[in-house]
Structure 1
Amino acid sequence: MSLDPALLEILRCPDEHHAALDYDATASTLTCTECARVYEVRDGIPVLLLDEARQGGEKS
């Protein structure tokens, strides 16, 4: 499932820096361009919760 490009334009990392997110449709994830936190996209819905994010490079 793909995310709407207009939504991707406004989504930002919920951490205090509010950096842009890169979308990986294959992995269904959004990755912060500043802190490298990885947020899952579940059933087409981005889960932008800091306590559920994982650091980039980790395997789930």
Structure 2
Amino acid sequence: MMDKKLLSLLVCPVSKAPLEYREETQELVCKASGLAYPIRDGIPVMLETEARQLTADEKLEK
């Protein structure tokens, strides 16, 4: 579970856009940059080198 207060403070380090928490994959997703940042042991890893590219289908998800 991601703390909503923390989520409201975090932005994508690449695009500076807001992030969306996806519980099923334990990631913070930025549709603007097309990147998904992993959450490891409850800690968001906000490094571009650790992020993965979203698939075309993931970019269309809510």
Give TM-score, length-normalised by structure 1. Answer: 0.85
CA–CA distance in structure 1, aligned partners of residues 43 and 19 of structure 2: 14
Structure (1 or 2) with the greater helix fraction = 2
How many residues are paired up?
56
The gaps in structure 1 that reach 5 residues or longer are none
Q: Amino acid of the residue matched to residue 18 of structure 1? A: K
Give TM-score, length-normalised by structure 2. Answer: 0.83
The aligned counterpart of 2:21 is: 23
Q: Which runs of 4+ in 1 moved over 2 A?
A: none
The aligned counterpart of 1:12 is: 11
Percent of residue pairs bearing the same amino acid type:
41
The gaps in structure 2 that reach 5 residues or longer are 57-62
CA RMSD of aligned residues (A): 1.4
Q: 1:36-47 residue pairs with structure 2 within 5 A?
A: 36-47=34-45
